[in-house]
Each structure stands twice: as structure tokens, then as C-alpha cells.
Chain A
Amino acid sequence: AQTVTQSQPEMSVQEAETVTLSCTYDTSESDYYLFWYKQPPSRQMILVIRQEAYKQQNATENRFSVNFQKAAKSFSLKISDSQLGDAAMYFCAYRSSNFGNEKLTFGTGTRLTIIP
């Protein structure tokens, strides 16, 4: 079974600075998808970024980028120019590419605080 580990329960960053959230995973599969979801106080789950394992290029979405290290099974999220609206819980998630086994496996989350 796949597992996802987020070893930082809480992180804080000064507004406008850069912060990196860590995520590692364990799988025996070679093809899969990785995601970062944001959960603000409203508790809505919002997709931040997605990475396909077969792609070597790291995904980016505006101020959000990932460092995907497939051999190390590491998938960190970098938030540049942090803004107050980035304050939230961030969840890393894994999904198999096998048809029918499409459930997302989530880590326990990192609570990000933005310091004005």
C-alpha cells in the first residue's frame, strides 16, 4: 500500500518570503500522480498543483512550484512571495495511474502560518 508522509506539522513564513513544504511517499509503482491540495479555514479542498511521475520537468503554477525527486520519492512544494491568503493546511496526495485504483492517499498535512 502507498503511504504519504508530511513530517512538518506546522510551518511559518514571513509575508513575501519563500517557504518549502516537504512530502515523501512510498510506492512500488513506476507511474503515478502527485498533488498538493490547500485547505483554508473554510475547509474547502483546493487543488494547488499536480505532477505526473513520468514527467521529469517540475510542475509550476504561478507562485507555486514543486521539486519532484522520483528516485528519492520526494515531492516538496515551494511557495514564493508568500501572501496572507496562503495561510492554510497543505496536504500532499498520491494517486496510482492504475485504472480502478484511483483513490487519493493523503498525508497528515502541514499547517502554514503567514506572518505579516
Chain B
Amino acid sequence: NAGVMQNPRHLVRRRGQEARLRCSPMKGHSHVYWYRQLPEEGLKFMVYLQKENIIDESGMPKERFSAEFPKEGPSILRIQQVVRGDSAAYFCASRGATPQETQYFGPGTRLLVL
């Protein structure tokens, strides 16, 4: 049973470009969470999605960031017009059907903005 998959593992963008980060949850999981880890800091919650729905986006920056989790395919975190401050590790986690279940993390995508 494959774990949470994220790609790309590393992404380099120039300022002003767009970054698309993909997350495939564990098999059978339909709940996805995105977290961001700035250098030398802990993880910070960004957004929680269920298939085709955003449940909690209280941690998402108001501009340039968006997330989706379509009925088919991976969850996508999209960052438009990236700036140097967006450089970070972005982690995706997924859980199973019941809210009590543990969130399991993917390996992360390291975004570097030049």
C-alpha cells in the first residue's frame, strides 16, 4: 500500500512564475491537508480539502495561493507569481474516512524561488 505521494520533490522557479505542487493521498484516503515549513521552523497548516470541497482554508494566504482536490486525480496546491518568501517545504498529509484517524505525511516538495 503506497504512502502519500508528492511531486515534484524539488521545484525551482523564478520570481513571478507559477508553481504547481501535486499530492496523491494514500489509497482509500479522501481527506488531504497541506502544510508549509519555512526554513528552521515548524509546519504551519494551510488548507484542508475533501474530494471536490475545501473544508478549512484558514491558513492559506489570501492572495496568489489556491488549492483543489478534484474528483479524479491528485490534489493541487498552486502558487501564482511566486516570490522569494514562498521558498519552503510544502507537505501534504492524508487520512482515512473517520476524523479520528491519523494524518500521514508525504515526503514534501521543496520549492526554491530564485
Q: Spell out A's residues near B (CB within 8 Å).
A: 33, 35, 37, 42-47, 50, 91, 95, 97, 99-109
Residue of B nearest to A98 (CB): B99
Whether, in the assembled complex, B91 has its beta carbon less than 8 Å from a beta carbon of chain A, the answer is yes
Smallest CB separation, B100 vs chain A (Å): 7
Smallest CB separation, B30 vs chain A (Å): 13
Determine the interface band of chain B, counting residues with CB < 8 A from chain A: 20 to 34
CB contacts (< 8 Å) of A105 on chain B: these are: 45
Smallest CB separation, B29 vs chain A (Å): 13
> Would you call B55 and A106 a contact (CB within 8 A)?
no
* A106-B48 in contact given A43-B108, A44-B105, A44-B107 (Cβ < 8 Å): no
**Dominant SS at the A interface?**
loop
CB contacts (< 8 Å) of B44 on chain A: these are: 106
Smallest CB separation, A5 vs chain B (Å): 11
CB contacts (< 8 Å) of B19 on chain A: these are: none
Question: In the bound complex, what is the Cα–Cα distance between A99 and B95 (angstroms)?
Answer: 13
CB contacts (< 8 Å) of A46 on chain B: these are: 105
Q: Which residues of B11-70 are within 8 A (CB) of A?
A: 31, 33, 35, 41-45, 48, 55-56, 58-59
> Would you call B102 and A50 a contact (CB within 8 A)?
yes
Whether, in the assembled complex, B103 has its beta carbon less than 8 Å from a beta carbon of chain A, the answer is yes
> Would you call A104 and B33 a contact (CB within 8 A)?
yes
Residue of A nearest to B95 (CB): A102
Whether, in the assembled complex, B89 has its beta carbon less than 8 Å from a beta carbon of chain A, the answer is yes
